[in-house]
């Protein structure tokens, strides 16, 4: 039994690393969708939203204030709910706690509601629909953000990645090779790839916009189940 644990643990960690990169892709796509199609606010980059909120205050731009305040408040709500659903890291936690999957299922439900609304509006939501649709996506990414903290892995995130980029540069200039930061780089590239894909769909195939969110998140949930023989549960 001990030998089996030693053998499967590295495999389980690799599975998690791949699935986390896919979640970063989900985040990047959702942020691009929010920024390009829902009034130029972010759904997970709260630092950017706070800067935009400050600009709105300076310019007296009520539209920017409403959008960014909605995004920030919704993300905070999602993070709070995600923390309640996924819980806090505990000693002896499995590589992928079941509570994380429960939080991701809730996130998938929010994306499903967004998809239904998006398609009902002809894949071109009017300005009056920006706030509720933006709120759905921001709550979803807030959920994901706090749920990933349940892994208890220092610095691991799929949404706010400025710290990840900073850590990569610190490790590289400190003499660590690219192998030591490989997973962090993969997460960053996943975010960029997701943003590129989301932007391409918004401009070229708006009817497929929700598919990238539903598809990537479903792939993570099913992927976790498919590899449950190597993931501790």
Give this prediction's pTM: 0.90
111 found inside a domain: yes
> Is 32 a member of any domain?
yes
**How many domains does the chain fold into?**
1
Do the domain assignments include residue 137? yes
Nearest to 94 by CA among 185, 230, 207: 230
What domain range includes position 100? 10-224
**Does residue 230 sit within a domain?**
no
Q: Tell me the Cα Rg of the chain.
A: 18
Domain for residue 144, yes or no? yes
Q: Is 4 part of a structural domain of the chain? A: no
Residue 233 maps to a domain: no
CATH at residue 87: 1.20.1250
Whether 119 maps to a domain, the answer reads: yes
Digits of tens for pLDDT over the chain (233 positions)? Answer: 333 343 445 688 888 999 999 999 999 999 999 999 999 999 999 999 999 999 999 999 999 999 999 999 999 999 999 999 999 888 778 889 999 999 999 999 999 999 999 999 999 999 999 999 999 999 999 999 999 999 988 878 998 888 888 887 887 888 887 777 888 889 999 999 999 999 999 999 999 999 999 999 999 999 988 777 665 55
């Amino acid at each position: 039994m001990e030998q089996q644990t030693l053998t499967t643990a590295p495999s389980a960690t690799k599975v998690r690393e791949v699935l986390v990169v896919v979640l970063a892709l989900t985040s990047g796509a959702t942020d691009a969708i929010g920024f390009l199609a829902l009034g130029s606010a972010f759904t997970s980059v709260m630092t950017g939203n706070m800067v935009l909120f400050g600009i709105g205050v300076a310019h007296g731009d009520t539209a920017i204030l409403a959008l960014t305040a909605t995004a920030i408040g919704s993300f905070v709500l999602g993070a709070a709910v995600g923390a309640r659903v996924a819980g806090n890291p505990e000693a002896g936690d499995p590589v992928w706690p079941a509570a994380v999957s429960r939080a991701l299922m809730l996130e998938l439900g929010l994306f499903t509601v967004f998809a239904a609304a998006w398609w009902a509006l002809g894949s071109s939501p009017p300005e009056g629909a920006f706030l509720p649709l933006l709120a759905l996506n921001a709550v979803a990414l807030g959920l994901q953000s706090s749920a990933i903290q349940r892994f208890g892995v220092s610095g691991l995130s799929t949404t706010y990645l400025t710290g990840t980029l900073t850590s990569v540069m610190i490790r590289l200039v400190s003499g660590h090779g690219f192998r030591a930061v490989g997973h962090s780089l993969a997460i960053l590239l996943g975010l960029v790839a997701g943003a590129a894909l989301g932007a391409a769909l918004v401009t070229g195939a708006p009817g497929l916009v929700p598919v990238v969110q539903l598809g990537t998140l479903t792939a993570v949930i099913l992927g976790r189940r498919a590899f449950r023989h190597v993931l501790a549960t």
